[in-house]
Chain A
Amino acid sequence: MDIEQTTWTAPGGWQPAAGQPLGGAAQLVLLFGSRELLDQAQCWNEARGRYPGARVVGCSTAGEIAGTRVLDDSVVATAVAFAHTQVRVGRVSLSEFGCSEEAGRALARSLEPAGLVHVLVLSDGLHVNGTELVKGLSEQLPHGVAATGGLSGDGSRFERTLVGVDGDVAEGIVVAVGFYGPRLRVGYGSLGGWDPFGPERVITRSRGNVLFEMDGRSALQLYKRYLGEHAAELPASGLLFPLSLRTPDGEAPVVRTILAVDEAEQSLTFAGDVPEGAIARLMKANFERLIDGATGAARTSGDGIRGGTAQLALLISCVGRKLILKQRTEEEVESVRDVLGGGPVLAGFYSYGEISPFSASTRCELHNQTMTVTTFFEAE
């Protein structure tokens, strides 16, 4: 497997970041960039021009990862030339389906199941119910094939998120990249590092992923009270306090993060379901716990490639973490590097939601507020 990574920024234009130029040998190019840049055809065209034999897939982000650097207002292109592995790409538009679950099922069906080893998913970040999408996807994928990926971002604005394939870029799109070939080994891990605090609250009014009331009181008002002057920055500042949800029947808690705020109906929209009757607690994080989380995710993903040394590591981390870590955001990427070593090329982005099993033995799920690491290794 050969990789070439380049970055584009306004002052410097395209700059090499890692690897040697691949040109026509590349089969797949991952394009992560700010919404404004990705919305222009130029960057897509340049990528296709440089890698004529490759499928170019990408999405808008809340921060791009190249090596151990975390960039804003940039585009990071990571081109991959596999020695033995083939790549296929599926695409669905959410507006064509009644619900995200059906879209997920359709997307999975668009990939030939024979020889499928792994699926990378890039989804719209605002018009999707990530929980349902992953459910539909998992249902249709062959047994033993996992999906990892994330929801595209829009900085901390939460206005429009874009996903595109070969220059065809739009809102409301979900793309799946299928990897085929027995020599490819894929590992994955996902960890948060957030801790619940404060009282437990029962969700008393909600609709799907829209939350109105907890303990009979306005959830939006509660968030505003906690955020104080940061309330003006909602919904982004809401990411400082994600929700831990557990159902009364005692399943493992999941983390939900805010995607949108509706002042008119006094609601909060989350990246996954917030069912009535579930018990919620606010969560908080600090620098140390988040770094620990990233370290743990990297370690788990490294274990997944069964003795091989990762050649490519895809890091999809939550925008909420970036809001907490601020200037220290790169430290969580460095901690991944510390675990995986100097070998693999690191690429990725800050997202509005992460898709991955917690580890190899668990079900694929939508996560919020985690660092998700997917490692690739192609045997000779």
Chain B
Amino acid sequence: MHKLLLRQLRRHFGSPDVPAELRGFVDAVNQAYEEAQGDRVLLERAMELTSQEMLERYRDLQAQVGERERVEQALRHSEEYFRSLTENASDVVSVLEADGTVRYHSPAIERILGYSPERLAGTRAFAGAHPDDRGAVEAAFGEVRRTPGAVRSVTYRNRHASAGWRVLESTATNLLHAPAVAGIVVNSRDVTERSVAEVALRESEIRFRTVAESLGEGLLITDLDDVIQYANPRVEEIYGWRPEELVGRRGLEVLIPPEDLEPFRERMARRARGVAERYEMRALRKDGTTGWVEVHGTPFRNAAGDIVGTLGAITDITERKRVQEQLAHGALHDALTGLPNRALFLNRLEHALERIRRGRGIPFGVLFLDVDRFKLVNDSLGHGPGDELLRQIGARLVQALRPGDTVSRFGGDEFTVMLERVATAVDATHVAERLLAALAVPFSIGGREVYASASIGIALCDGGDAHPEELLRNADAALGRAKAHGRGRCEVFDRQMHAAAMRRLQMETDLRRAVPNGELRLVYQPVVSLGAGGIVGFEALARWEHPRHGTIEPADFIPVAEETGLIEGIGRWVLDEACRVLAAWQAAVPRDPPLTMAVNVSARQFVQPDLVQQVECSIRRHGVPAESVRLEITESVLIDKPDAAAETLVALRGLGLKLHLDDFGTGYSSLAFLERFPIDAVKIDRSFVHGMESEPRRARFVAGIAAFARSLGVGVVAEGVDARAQPALLRERGCQLAQGYLFSRPLPPDEAERLLLAEPGWILD
């Protein structure tokens, strides 16, 4: 039963138990209570939900309204902000219609021109412009009006309300297409005061710029903080920075190498104290490279006379410096390897010896290093790679030595080393072997592996009485022995070598006297025709009649003559003497073709620039036909500088001379030489001719050379014919001429002449 009904029954009847006749009624009332409660609960539930839904929608709406209010607020604020800016700006902001009618002037117009904005609204914008300026103003406005977005500035005079003219600087912007404006916006500023001062300033400025920009020197003006205020165009050529890039930057940040900053700061301080000075300094360019400049720095003062910065006149002296430095370096260094050259090496050697003489020095060693068979490298790979090899060898030597040691490129493929603090031959040998080991590793030249070895001669200095040249000569002597013993090794100079070296020195001294003393003479060996068996000519050979040592062969003294340069004088004498004798013999025994004379030309002689003239001179002087003179050269002459050699050979041939290649078969025997150079004949070396009658290999070799030569149109002369069987063999194998002891040994001129006059005929079968 419903709780309320229960209580009501208790209150009114004293008990819920009602009389039976009322029970149906009470049940109906109870049902009505329960139904009413059910209805109420349902209704309250509906109301609760409706209320919730309504609240949710209300909150959504509030959020939307709030957002819109925020946006509108921001818009209002923004509008207020810009209006305030415009209204309070000291410049005038105006909006004009497309036809030039004023729609709006900001309040500043009144301060500048004396008219209220309201009074000018609706009038023509430029009606107050000075008659002389109106054309320019209207033209600028017209341009702006025609192009959407166009901006033009114009300065003009405009009438002031009370009296006189004000100068306005106006910038017009076409915003006709911008819906928010749909007009032309003009910003105007009163520049009356400024423009008067400006004219004077501009003239002064123009004068300054004209001078500054025409200067040959760079001009920099900096303030006391080193901030660049001005740079003329010349500065760009020096530093690579455009003047406008430099202005505003600090000079010490962009133009000075960091390591030079300290001295520069000191100079700045001096400038601030009023000191002017001229100095050289390094310059940092925009691309990071450095150069040299000479600066004439002067304190820069303002109108009041206070120092406000520095004026620097700058001259680029990079080239001058470079040349100076190159000269200083080049005189003492080898251009190819960058190592000290012979002069510097000798100088250091001298200093080291001097220290020892003064008792402060320490024993040291000298190494003389020669690259084995360097010519072969040059010949097979070319000069570029040859040079590269020398560079790399130089680098390896430096790397393998201690910092105190001196390596120099002494010349050609020769290097010298001065070893500090090396007391014994063992120590020096260790170093030398280390160097040889370093060179034993293959080199990479132009992408290919190249093997090189060297020979080293070692000389030690233990006392100060030696001379630099003597030490080097000793090392060279040891080097000679190293090479003689098979290359790729080192030798230490000893007494025996000393004796040999002394002998050689003596020979050098004697040889100098030989030419003036008439100790040189020529002997002549006949050249025989293997066809007719008679003499066709002679080969002139030099002999030195030494006063004490008797006759000396060319093989013993020509190398010394070559080294000392005496060969030039000797060579000239030989050529001239041979031509003189030939002329006499041709006169005594006239023939057609005339008698020939072969003269040897050494390598050093061959590269003399006036060789061709010498030859021509001797031929002319003695009146011998050029075609009767043969010059004999060796292959080595052609290997060293092939292009120059070819040129010389062509010039000699141009005189009409014949050219013979001597000692053929012993050296490179490059058949290519025969094709490349204008050679008339090859002389087959005696080592192939000797014994050829019993050695078929030698005979075949001779035959091969002859066949090849013949195919190229080159003649063949056999040397050293000393057996009766040989002439026939040689002739059969295509050899036309021969000389040798079988026919005659080399003879003094009178004996040779007698033999010639006797007209011998050798039976050659």
Residues of A within 8 A of B (CB): 195, 197-200, 284, 286, 327-328, 330-331
Tell me the smallest distance from the CB of A305 to a CB of chain B, in Å.
Answer: 29
- Which single member of A199, A328, A331 contacts B58 (CB below 8 Å)? A199
CA distance A11 to B397 in the complex (A): 140
Most chain-B CB neighbours within 10 Å: which of A195, A199, A328, A331? Answer: A199
A-contact 0/1 string along B27-41, CB 8 Å cutoff: 000000000000011
Which of chain B's residues has its CB closest to A196's CB? B51
From known contacts A195-B48, A286-B44, A331-B3, infer whether A200 and B8 are also in contact, taking CB-CB under 8 Å: no
Contact B48 A197 (CB under 8 A): yes
Q: Which are the 9 A-B pairs with shortest beta-carbon distances?
A: A197-B51, A199-B58, A198-B51, A328-B4, A286-B44, A327-B4, A199-B55, A199-B54, A331-B3
22 intermolecular pairs with C-beta atoms under 8 Å apart: A195-B48, A197-B47, A197-B48, A197-B51, A198-B51, A198-B54, A199-B54, A199-B55, A199-B58, A200-B55, A200-B58, A200-B59, A284-B47, A286-B40, A286-B44, A327-B4, A327-B8, A328-B3, A328-B4, A330-B7, A331-B3, A331-B4
Chain A residue numbers with a CB within 8 Å of B51 are 197-198
CA distance A331 to B154 in the complex (A): 95
CA distance A328 to B3 in the complex (A): 9
**Given A197-B48, A198-B55, 8 additional A-B pairs, CB 8 A:** A198-B51, A198-B54, A199-B54, A199-B55, A199-B58, A200-B58, A286-B40, A330-B7
Interface residues of B in 235-275 (CB under 8 A from A): none
The main secondary structure of chain A at its interface with chain B is strand
CA distance A164 to B132 in the complex (A): 103
Chain B residue numbers with a CB within 8 Å of A198 are 51, 54-55
Chain B residue numbers with a CB within 8 Å of A199 are 54-55, 58
Chain A residue numbers with a CB within 8 Å of B40 are 286
Chain A residue numbers with a CB within 8 Å of B4 are 327-328, 331
Residues of B within 8 A of A (CB): 3-4, 7-8, 40-41, 44, 47-48, 51, 54-55, 58-59
Tell me the smallest distance from the CB of A244 to a CB of chain B, in Å.
Answer: 12
Chain B residue numbers with a CB within 8 Å of A327 are 4, 8
Tell me the smallest distance from the CB of A342 to a CB of chain B, in Å.
Answer: 18
Which of chain A's residues has its CB closest to B58's CB? A199
Which of chain A's residues has its CB closest to B40's CB? A286
CA distance A200 to B59 in the complex (A): 9
Tell me the smallest distance from the CB of B636 to a CB of chain A, in Å.
Answer: 110
Instruction: Give the number of residue pairs across the A-B interface with Cβ within 8 Å.
Output: 24
CA distance A328 to B2 in the complex (A): 11
Which of chain B's residues has its CB closest to A197's CB? B51
Chain B residue numbers with a CB within 8 Å of A331 are 3-4
Chain B residue numbers with a CB within 8 Å of A200 are 55, 58-59
CA distance A330 to B3 in the complex (A): 11
CA distance A195 to B55 in the complex (A): 14
Which of chain A's residues has its CB closest to B52's CB? A197
Chain A residue numbers with a CB within 8 Å of B55 are 198-200
Which of chain A's residues has its CB closest to B3's CB? A331
CA distance A284 to B4 in the complex (A): 21
CA distance A330 to B8 in the complex (A): 11
CA distance A195 to B47 in the complex (A): 12
Chain A residue numbers with a CB within 8 Å of B3 are 328, 331
CA distance A284 to B48 in the complex (A): 10
Tell me the smallest distance from the CB of B695 to a CB of chain A, in Å.
Answer: 126
Tell me the smallest distance from the CB of A293 to a CB of chain B, in Å.
Answer: 16
CA distance A327 to B3 in the complex (A): 11
Tell me the smallest distance from the CB of A5 to a CB of chain B, in Å.
Answer: 20
CA distance A200 to B51 in the complex (A): 10
Chain B residue numbers with a CB within 8 Å of A330 are 7
CA distance A330 to B47 in the complex (A): 27
CA distance A75 to B48 in the complex (A): 40
CA distance A41 to B431 in the complex (A): 138
Chain A residue numbers with a CB within 8 Å of B58 are 199-200
Which of chain B's residues has its CB closest to A326's CB? B4
CA distance A286 to B7 in the complex (A): 19
CA distance A197 to B45 in the complex (A): 12
Tell me the smallest distance from the CB of B38 to a CB of chain A, in Å.
Answer: 13
Chain A residue numbers with a CB within 8 Å of B59 are 200
Chain A residue numbers with a CB within 8 Å of B44 are 286
Most chain-A CB neighbours within 10 Å: which of B4, B8, B41? Answer: B4
Which of chain A's residues has its CB closest to B54's CB? A199
Chain A residue numbers with a CB within 8 Å of B7 are 330
CA distance A199 to B58 in the complex (A): 7
Chain B residue numbers with a CB within 8 Å of A284 are 47
Which of chain B's residues has its CB closest to A325's CB? B4
CA distance A125 to B40 in the complex (A): 33
CA distance A200 to B52 in the complex (A): 11
Tell me the smallest distance from the CB of A253 to a CB of chain B, in Å.
Answer: 14
CA distance A328 to B8 in the complex (A): 10
Tell me the smallest distance from the CB of B39 to a CB of chain A, in Å.
Answer: 12
Tell me the smallest distance from the CB of A241 to a CB of chain B, in Å.
Answer: 13
CA distance A145 to B44 in the complex (A): 41
Which of chain B's residues has its CB closest to A291's CB? B3
CA distance A198 to B49 in the complex (A): 10
Tell me the smallest distance from the CB of A55 to a CB of chain B, in Å.
Answer: 35
Tell me the smallest distance from the CB of A228 to a CB of chain B, in Å.
Answer: 15
Chain A residue numbers with a CB within 8 Å of B54 are 198-199
Chain B residue numbers with a CB within 8 Å of A328 are 3-4
CA distance A286 to B51 in the complex (A): 16
Most chain-B CB neighbours within 10 Å: which of A197, A200, A331? Answer: A197
CA distance A200 to B7 in the complex (A): 40
Tell me the smallest distance from the CB of A246 to a CB of chain B, in Å.
Answer: 13
Most chain-A CB neighbours within 10 Å: which of B41, B47, B51, B58? Answer: B51
Which of chain B's residues has its CB closest to A282's CB? B51
Chain A residue numbers with a CB within 8 Å of B47 are 197, 284
CA distance A200 to B55 in the complex (A): 7
Tell me the smallest distance from the CB of B188 to a CB of chain A, in Å.
Answer: 49
Chain A residue numbers with a CB within 8 Å of B48 are 195, 197
CA distance A271 to B44 in the complex (A): 27
Chain B residue numbers with a CB within 8 Å of A197 are 47-48, 51
CA distance A330 to B41 in the complex (A): 21
Which of chain B's residues has its CB closest to A288's CB? B41
CA distance A327 to B5 in the complex (A): 10
CA distance A268 to B424 in the complex (A): 126
CA distance A284 to B3 in the complex (A): 22
CA distance A270 to B8 in the complex (A): 35
CA distance A360 to B478 in the complex (A): 118
Tell me the smallest distance from the CB of A332 to a CB of chain B, in Å.
Answer: 12
CA distance A262 to B58 in the complex (A): 30
CA distance A202 to B4 in the complex (A): 40
CA distance A331 to B7 in the complex (A): 10
Which of chain B's residues has its CB closest to A327's CB? B4
Tell me the smallest distance from the CB of A217 to a CB of chain B, in Å.
Answer: 15
Tell me the smallest distance from the CB of A324 to a CB of chain B, in Å.
Answer: 12
Chain A residue numbers with a CB within 8 Å of B41 are 286
CA distance A197 to B4 in the complex (A): 27
CA distance A331 to B54 in the complex (A): 33
Which of chain B's residues has its CB closest to A330's CB? B7
Tell me the smallest distance from the CB of B747 to a CB of chain A, in Å.
Answer: 139
Tell me the smallest distance from the CB of B33 to a CB of chain A, in Å.
Answer: 11
CA distance A327 to B10 in the complex (A): 13
Which of chain B's residues has its CB closest to A331's CB? B3
CA distance A331 to B58 in the complex (A): 37
CA distance A117 to B3 in the complex (A): 40
CA distance A92 to B59 in the complex (A): 46
Tell me the smallest distance from the CB of B685 to a CB of chain A, in Å.
Answer: 121
CA distance A336 to B3 in the complex (A): 16
Tell me the smallest distance from the CB of B8 to a CB of chain A, in Å.
Answer: 7
Tell me the smallest distance from the CB of A284 to a CB of chain B, in Å.
Answer: 8
CA distance A286 to B41 in the complex (A): 9
Which of chain A's residues has its CB closest to B62's CB? A200
CA distance A328 to B7 in the complex (A): 9
Tell me the smallest distance from the CB of B183 to a CB of chain A, in Å.
Answer: 42
CA distance A331 to B41 in the complex (A): 18
Tell me the smallest distance from the CB of A361 to a CB of chain B, in Å.
Answer: 31
CA distance A319 to B152 in the complex (A): 83
